[in-house]
Amino acid sequence: MAIKDLFGKELKVINIGLLSFKESLEDAGVKVIQVDWRPPAGGDEEVMEALKKLLGK
Amino acid sequence: MVVKGVVKKGQYFDSVTLMLVAKGLTEVEGVEDAAIVMGTDENKSILESSGMLLDEFKQAKDSDLIIVVKAKDEALAEKMLEKAEKDLQESRTKFEEAGDYLPKSLEGALEIMPDANLVLISVAGKYAGDEAMKALEKGLHVMLFSDNVPLEKEIELKKYARDKGLLVMGPDCGTAIINGAPLAFANVVNRGDIGIVAASGTGLQEVSCVITNEGAGISQAIGTGGRDVKKDVGGIMFLEGMKALNEDENTKVIALVSKPPHEDVLKKIANLIKEEIKKPVVGIFIGGDPEVVKSAGAIPANTLEEAGLIAASLSKGKSMDEFKKLLEEREEEIKKLAEEEASKKKEGQKYVRGLYTGGTLCDEAQLLFKDMIGYVYGNAPLKEEFKLKDSWKSFKNTVVDLGEDEFTVGRPHPMIDYTLRNKRILEEAKDPEVAVILLDVVLGYGSNMKPGEELAPVIKKAKEMAKKEGRDLSIICSITGTKKDPQNKDKVEKELKEAGAIVMPSNAAASKLSAYIVKKLGGDK
């Protein structure tokens, strides 16, 4: 396998996390499937990290 | 004011949902503040500092949801708690309706979509690495939006991916465009023959938009995450990305976008360009020495805009002379405009206040300012001695990155939520020494969906406030976006111009215009 083999193919995405990313991809006409992911234990840090992250690019 | 709250045991929602529902509450009249968070110690201390930590929250655990409202009276607070629960329930229903069946795992998703080829991961950093490894083991490419993935994990993932010929974009990769698909925070760009490898998210967005707005297009835009080009990761994915674009028959020109890579990584990049890459390479290492880029055999660009323009020129088969002529013409226009704007200013008006939502754009503005008007103050300054004592208060020439932690704890990023910046614009407008307010507006998926509607009235108000006191205030914006973005750049530009803003074609042009005005007014002294 090589990275370039991905180019030119239709992109098909599995989205693990923010639902808004799935919605954006669908809006752009990309095939995407959402995983109903739950944290293995509780979900605490997810909120804080994404708060900071949300989009601290 | 009354503070009321409730703890919901064992309920999990994603962070964006929680913030959106909380924001919906604060928009109701009579509500001063609202928070919906998981009951971690960190969250509890944030609630405490804003006077919203009730006794009953102290027992809440990491996996419990806390909803709290500060409102003018008991009845409204009660009503808001009910609204929060209703809105959360609705979002859950929407989630469940999103598909007939939502798989609980990657394996489940692959049963439904066996030919999936990329996994986009945005769960918390401590879980994200494991999810990424699972995806790689199944032969899938990965984009890791999550940050806080341990460094060792990043190195492990990238080495594994390299050996298997797979892509790992990130961690902390905010944007990418693969096969025309905008991933996470990306713009809708033209397809074309320019391939980008970038270790900077907003840098990638700005370059890909400039290229599109010039009528050229993108083949692939690969994000690597900022840590990739540092010493420890050693540029693994930056280099693999370059090789892949070199082999890609649809890529004619390669553009590299990054903050200055570690010297070891830079050597590897230079070697790769010399030994293997057979296509023209344009490089912008923001804040780095252009000579280094040149010595690596790439065409150096001084700004993100230049990188985009050079790449577009090469793609269209134009000569570098034509490109230089275009740049000179633009520079002359900027100088002329600066003269006009400066001539309208009142005695004492001389400073610029840059209010940024994009970190890389903020860096670029500061670097341009450094050369034109000297170092400027800020919360993330180029030189430590120019650090603001209080990030919330500007001093002389100031450029603030509103995406830094002190502004984002407990609220959405300023690219999404304009509330904080809008307040700051009005504060700066009151300052009689301010001549220019400089703003970035970043469009694309994930960003604020109504930038014109939310920003234009504030620009108008700020200009009116200054005018009442006999001052003319220049509000200069750049828009990182395209007309194909969901917000539509042309529409946003029109709205901002109608409000009285000057809209420049790039962040570099907007920064230069601001600096020329300040220079003319003596604010650089």
pLDDT tens per residue across span B268-286: 999 999 999 999 999 999 9
Question: pLDDT exceeding 90 applies to what percent of chain B?
Answer: 77
CB nearest B165 (choices: A2, A22, A36): A2
A25 CA: distance to closest CA in chain B (Å): 7
Q: Say whether A18 and B140 touch across the interface (CB within 8 A).
A: no
Query: What pLDDT does residue A57 have?
Result: 33
Query: For chain B, what is the mean pLDDT?
Result: 93
The H or E element spanning position B367 is helix B359-373
Query: What pLDDT does residue A48 have?
Result: 47
Residue of A1, A3, A26 to mutate when probing chain B, most B C-beta within 10 A? A3
**Chain B residue closest to A31 (CA)?**
B116
CA gap B169, B175 in Å, rounded? 9
The strand pairing partners of A34, in sequence order, are A15
* Residue from B146, B169, B175 nearest B224 by CA: B169
Query: Complex ipTM, two decimals?
Result: 0.84
Where is average pLDDT lowest: B30-34, B152-156, B351-355, B374-378? B30-34
Query: What pLDDT does residue B48 have?
Result: 85
Checking if the pLDDT of B342 tops 50, the result is yes
Checking if the pLDDT of B328 tops 80, the result is yes
Q: Does A48 touch chain B (CB under 8 A)?
A: yes
CB nearest B16 (choices: A7, A18, A25): A18
Q: Say whether A37 and B116 touch across the interface (CB within 8 A).
A: no
Where is average pLDDT lowest: A42-46, B185-189, B402-406? A42-46
CA gap B213, B190 in Å, rounded? 9
A50 CA: distance to closest CA in chain B (Å): 6
Query: What pLDDT does residue B276 have?
Result: 94
Checking if the pLDDT of B519 tops 70, the result is yes
CB nearest B124 (choices: A30, A36, A46): A46
Checking if the pLDDT of A1 tops 80, the result is no
Query: What pLDDT does residue B49 have?
Result: 77
pLDDT in tens, B412-465: 789 988 989 999 999 999 999 999 999 999 999 989 999 999 999 999 999 999
Q: Does A49 touch chain B (CB under 8 A)?
A: yes
Residue B494: other Cβ atoms inside 10 A: 14
Query: What pLDDT does residue B409 have?
Result: 64
Judged by CB atoms within 8 Å, which residues 2-21 of A form the interface with B? 2-21
Query: For chain A, what is the mean pLDDT?
Result: 78
**Chain A residue closest to B122 (CA)?**
A17
pLDDT in tens, B133-143: 999 999 999 99
| 3-state SS assignment for residue B257 | strand
Question: pLDDT exceeding 70 applies to what percent of chain B?
Answer: 98
Helix B304-315 crosses helix B320-343 at what angle (to 10 degrees)?
140
pLDDT band at A45 (very low <50, low <70, confident <90, very high): low
* Residue from B220, B138, B143, B212 nearest B184 by CA: B143
CB nearest A39 (choices: B115, B124, B141): B124
Q: Are A2 and A8 in contact (CB under 8 A)?
A: no
Torsion of CA A16, A19, A25, A30, to 10 degrees: 60
Higher pLDDT pick, B259 / A8: B259
pLDDT band at B321 (very low <50, low <70, confident <90, very high): confident
* Per-range mean pLDDT, top range of B12-26, B209-223, B276-290: B209-223
B408 CA: distance to closest CA in chain A (Å): 6
CB nearest A3 (choices: B119, B167, B179): B167
**Chain A residue closest to B203 (CA)?**
A57
